[in-house]
């Protein structure tokens, strides 16, 4: 049975069409466990059906009724399995009170029954059923097998459903025209919005540009060939080039001394490439209308499947070789295409599985309208950069069909985390109107540039900017920031090929500090590790966020740390607006070690006759252990800065980059609020001011509560700074304290969020947290 399981999983993964997946499942499962019937019922959330499970495939029952039999949660054993979301195994199903005979389905003679819920992220998507004639007990082993199959099926169903269905809420949310369900082949039109996480606020309308670093054959989509001869040409060029590459690689290896029999695999590759059955099949598929990559995918996967079915293990291994060849051919086909990042412009939206902060930093000068990513969450560094660049962004779209979207029109709603694909005109008009209203609001906010961030009852909360790119300085200044509250020094390190030296670093830091002097600039020491790595200093760990990160790396490499500390102090000569901030401190000893190295660097510079001043020094509170030693920690520094992005991930045990758990990452979680309040109160007892430089400072709802906690200053992304200023100017601290008291009586983030959102709407400040004015 394990062998069958492996085969079924392989087949399901190489099949793209949901109907086909279901057919494979019912056929193979029935055979594998020697049952008489296997069927799949799926929840149909399209219009006119209210949570009904529809028979979508069966091997054993009357297949004429596929699509016709619908069971609600209260109907039959299928409904019961879905309702309980638990497997149900019955020796004689017909004796069960919930058993319901569907006329015409021909299930009268089947007694034994197992129903397994098909579940994805807690939602029951369908039910897998097996039945047999005799009254008998299906073993636990069989039930486990079916549970494993159902889990596989859940993934295949969610992927396929992302392309085909239009749930009712689409119409309700947008109150716009109806989009009807289309067939499975319609991949990018008439589709429900994709749901992700808000990455950077704002709304963008534009054309998708797919950015793919590397791709596996299975996920290449179908695409209608626009010019069949062109596609044939693309395929044959790739074929020739791969043949050439393989020959020259093989010759190279032989001339390097490798035995001819050891390079025989290359001859096998060449034989496969010269095989008429392979090339002809691809040509035919192109002539039938598919683009070259789609035709290649189908042919290769067909060959892979047939090799996988062979009993001879040696021949079965060849499936892997064919897959490798297919991959080479596909990569070769991409070689001559324009690099997607070269065709960016103001109306383009980057769509990608993942985008490193380094790549994004590199394209900063390109004007792009928006970004949509499969990976990441609100506090991933790529989202932070996108906010710094003011680019509306949605991250963590788990069902993102990256390549299929290439060239489609998209609307990116960076407030709600929704992405609309090829939307109808009415939705485009609606969003165009929202963009207009938003622009009006931001134009109004710009007039506040020179005004202080002072509450109605006269409390001033200086607003600083977060940055890390030199190119950010002008926007930071224009935003009305009163200084830089967090300069992430790792960014300039990331876009270089090696560690920058003392002179180079001093220049970078001087540029930032002189732009803001005499206003303060907080330079954070190198914070690599986690999701920020340097190509020339790779850190590979299973658990990078709990590993060698931030100050842990720099304390282990005093030579790197000393150069950075010296560069910062040299850059500050004559300006004296430097504040140094240490990241990821988790114990007093680490802080003491860092302070000692700073002192050493300072003494060294004085000895070398530099006219340096000792800067102010701060510590980031990002690791929960700091909360409980706050008074001791505060007594050693001049200021404290709360790094809420990491503090939340460590407090709630939620990886800030993992979109599987992004819904658990809650900045308004009561424990997070209590922790932050404690940090502020304890630091104040030592007379030490507290700032917050994580993304919470850009979230209007969180800022209300921080105001209530008497935070001393905030450091936000440049794009959010005007909104936060507007918010502060519309609140009194007294009001914020009352809201904080009310919020802390609530049991969860959801209730707190609705309390705060309602308050904003009542004060006519709703435009700060949603699209529109």
627 contacts: CB under 8 Å, gap ≥ 6? 621, 675, 678, 679
- Residues contacting residue 439 through CB under 8 Å, at least 6 positions apart: none
- Piece of the chain touching ligand PEP by CB under 6 A; list 23-31, 228-236, 639-647, 719-727: 639-647
Q: Does 646 bind Mg ion (CB under 5 A)?
A: yes
Question: Can you say whether the dihedral through the CA atoms of 713, 716, 721, 726 is positive or negative?
Answer: negative
In the complex, least distance from residue 622 CB atom to ligand PEP, rounded to whole angstroms: 5
Distance CA(15)–CA(172), nearest Å, equals: 33
Residue 643 interacts with Mg ion (CB under 5 A): yes or no: yes
Among 577, 586, 644, 659, binds ligand PEP (CB under 6 A): 644
| Residue 488 binds which of ligand PEP, Mg ion, none (CB < 5-8 A, kind-dependent) | ligand PEP
DSSP-derived secondary structure letter, 472 = G
Q: Within 570-629, which residues bind ligand PEP (CB under 6 A)?
A: 622
In sequence order, the β-bridge partners of residue 411 are 205, 420
Min dist CB 159 to ligand PEP, Å, is: 31
User: 413 with 195: CB under 8 angstroms?
Assistant: no
* Catalytic-role residue among 111, 381, 510, 669: 381
| Stretch of 24-32, 182-190, 407-415, 640-648 contacting Mg ion, by CB under 5 A | 640-648
527 part of the interface to ligand PEP, by CB under 6 A: yes
User: With respect to ligand PEP, which residue has the nearer C-beta, 153 or 620?
Assistant: 620
Considering beta carbons, is residue 138 or 491 the nearer one to Mg ion? 491
Rounded distance, CA 192 to CA 175, Å?
13
Tokens in use for 751?
């209730």
485 binds ligand PEP (CB under 6 A): no
State the Cα–Cα distance between residues 124 and 53, nearest whole angstrom: 10
644 binds, among Mg ion, ligand PEP, none (CB under 5 to 8 A by kind): ligand PEP
Long-range contacts of 72-77 (CB under 8 A, 24+ apart): 75/100, 76/100, 76/102, 77/113, 77/115, 77/129
Kindly write out the interface string for residues 600-629 of this chain, putting x where it contacts Mg ion by CB under 5 A and - elsewhere. ----------------------x-------
Distance CA 683, CA 690 (A): 7
Query: 441 or 555, CB closer to Mg ion?
Result: 555
Instruction: Give me the least distance between CB of 676 and ligand PEP, in Å please.
Output: 11
DSSP 8-state class, residue 537: B
Whether residue 611 contacts residue 661, with contact meaning beta carbons closer than 8 Å, is answered with no
Tell me: does residue 646 bind ligand PEP (CB under 6 A): yes
Of 56-64, 206-214, 600-608, 642-650, the segment contacting ligand PEP by CB under 6 A is 642-650
Size of the site for ligand PEP (CB under 6 A): 11
- Candidates 191, 285, 488, 566; binder of ligand PEP (CB under 6 A) is 488
Q: What 3 state SS string does 717-734 have? A: CCCCHHHHHHHHHCCCHH
Gap between the Cα atoms of 767 and 391, Å rounded: 18
Decide: helix, strand or coil at residue 205. strand
Residue 647 CB, nearest approach to ligand PEP (Å)? 7
Total residue count of the chain as it appears in this document:
773
Question: Applying CB under 6 A, which of residues 60, 694, 708, 767 lies at the interface with ligand PEP?
Answer: 694
> By the 8 A CB rule, do 463 and 453 touch?
yes
Contact 371, 199 (CB under 8 A): yes
Among this protein's residues, is 38 annotated catalytic?
Answer: no
Region near ligand PEP per CB under 6 A, out of 76-84, 169-177, 471-479, 638-646 = 638-646
Residue 693 falls in the annotated catalytic set? yes
667 binds ligand PEP (CB under 6 A): no
Residues that bind Mg ion (CB under 5 A): 622, 643, 646
Q: Could you list the residues that contact ligand PEP (CB under 6 A)?
A: 384, 486, 488, 527, 622, 643-646, 693-694
What residues act catalytically?
Answer: 381, 693
């Amino acid at each position: 049975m394990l062998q069958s399981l492996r085969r079924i999983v392989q087949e399901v993964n190489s099949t793209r069409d949901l109907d086909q997946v279901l057919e494979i499942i019912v056929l193979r499962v029935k055979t594998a466990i020697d049952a008489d019937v296997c069927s799949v019922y799926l929840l149909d959330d399209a219009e006119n059906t209210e949570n009904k499970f529809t028979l979508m495939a069966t091997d054993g029952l009357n297949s004429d009724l596929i699509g016709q039999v619908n069971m609600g949660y209260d109907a039959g054993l299928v409904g019961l399995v879905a309702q309980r979301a638990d497997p149900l195994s019955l020796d004689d199903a017909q004796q069960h009170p919930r058993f319901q005979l569907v006329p015409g389905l021909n299930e009268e003679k089947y007694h034994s029954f197992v129903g397994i819920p098909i579940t994805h992220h807690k939602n029951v998507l369908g039910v897998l059923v097996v039945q047999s004639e005799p009254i008998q007990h299906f073993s636990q082993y069989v039930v486990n097998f079916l549970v494993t199959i159902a889990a596989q099926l859940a993934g295949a169903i969610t992927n396929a459903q992302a392309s085909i269905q239009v749930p009712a809420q689409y119409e309700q949310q947008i109150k716009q025209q109806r989009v009807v369900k289309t067939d499975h082949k319609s991949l990018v039109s008439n589709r429900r919005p994709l749901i992700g996480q808000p990455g950077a606020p704002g709304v963008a309308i534009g054309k998708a540009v797919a950015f793919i670093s590397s791709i596996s054959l299975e996920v290449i989509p179908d695409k209608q060939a626009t010019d069949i001869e062109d596609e044939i040409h693309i395929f044959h060029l790739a074929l020739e080039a791969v043949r050439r590459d393989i020959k020259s690689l093989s010759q190279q290896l032989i001339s390097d001394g490798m035995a001819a029999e050891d390079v025989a695999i290359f001859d096998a590759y060449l034989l496969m490439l010269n095989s008429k059955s392979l090339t002809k099949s691809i040509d035919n598929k192109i002539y039938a209308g598919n683009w070259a990559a789609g035709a290649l995918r189908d042919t290769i996967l067909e060959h892979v499947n047939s090799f996988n079915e062979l009993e001879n293990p040696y021949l079965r291994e060849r499936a892997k070789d064919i897959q490798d060849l297919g991959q080479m051919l596909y990569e070769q086909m991409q070689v001559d295409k324009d690099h997607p990042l070269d065709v960016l412009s103001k109306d383009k939206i980057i769509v990608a599985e993942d985008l490193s902060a380094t790549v994004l930093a590199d394209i900063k000068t390109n004007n792009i309208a928006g970004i949509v990513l499969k990976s990441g969450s609100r506090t991933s560094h790529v989202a932070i950069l996108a906010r710094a660049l003011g680019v509306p962004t949605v991250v963590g779209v788990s069902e993102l069909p990256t390549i299929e979207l290439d060239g489609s029109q998209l609307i990116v709603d960076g407030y709600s985390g929704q992405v609309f694909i090829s939307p109808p005109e009415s939705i485009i008009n609606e969003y165009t109107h929202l963009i207009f209203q938003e622009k009006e609001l931001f134009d109004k906010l710009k007039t506040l540039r020179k005004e202080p961030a002072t509450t109605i009852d006269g409390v001033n909360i200086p607003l600083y900017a977060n940055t890390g790119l030199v190119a950010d300085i002008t926007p930071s200044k224009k935003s009305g920031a009163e200084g830089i509250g967090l300069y992430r020094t790792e960014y300039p390190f990331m876009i270089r090929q090696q560690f920058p030296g003392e002179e180079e670093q001093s220049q970078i830091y001087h540029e930032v500090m002189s732009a803001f002097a005499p206003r303060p600039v907080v330079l954070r020491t190198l914070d690599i590790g986690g999701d920020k790595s340097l190509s020339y200093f790779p850190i590979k760990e299973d658990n990078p966020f709990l590993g060698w990160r931030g100050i842990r790396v720099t304390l282990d490499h005093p030579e790197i740390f000393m150069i950075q500390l010296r560069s910062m102090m040299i850059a500050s000569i004559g300006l004296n607006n430097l504040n140094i901030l240490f990241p990821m401190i988790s114990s007093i000893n680490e802080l003491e070690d860092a302070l000692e190295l700073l002192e050493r660097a300072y003494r060294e510079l004085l000895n070398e006759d530099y006219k340096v001043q000792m800067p102010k020094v701060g510590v980031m509170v990002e690791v929960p252990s700091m909360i409980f030693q706050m008074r001791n920690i505060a007594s050693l520094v001049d200021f404290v800065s709360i790094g809420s992005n990491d503090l939340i991930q460590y407090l709630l045990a939620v990886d800030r980059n993992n979109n599987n758990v992004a819904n658990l990452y809650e900045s308004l979680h009561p424990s997070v609020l209590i922790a932050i309040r404690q940090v502020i109160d304890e630091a104040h007892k030592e007379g030490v001011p507290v700032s917050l430089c994580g993304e919470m400072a850009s979230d209007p709802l969180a800022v209300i509560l921080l105001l209530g906690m008497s935070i001393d200053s905030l450091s936000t992304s440049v794009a959010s700074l005007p909104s936060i200023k507007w918010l502060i100017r519309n609140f009194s601290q007294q009001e914020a304290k009352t809201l904080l008291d009310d919020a802390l009586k609530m049991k969860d983030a959801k209730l707190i969020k609705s309390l705060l959102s309602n308050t904003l709407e009542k004060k006519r400040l709703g435009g700060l947290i949603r699209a529109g004015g």
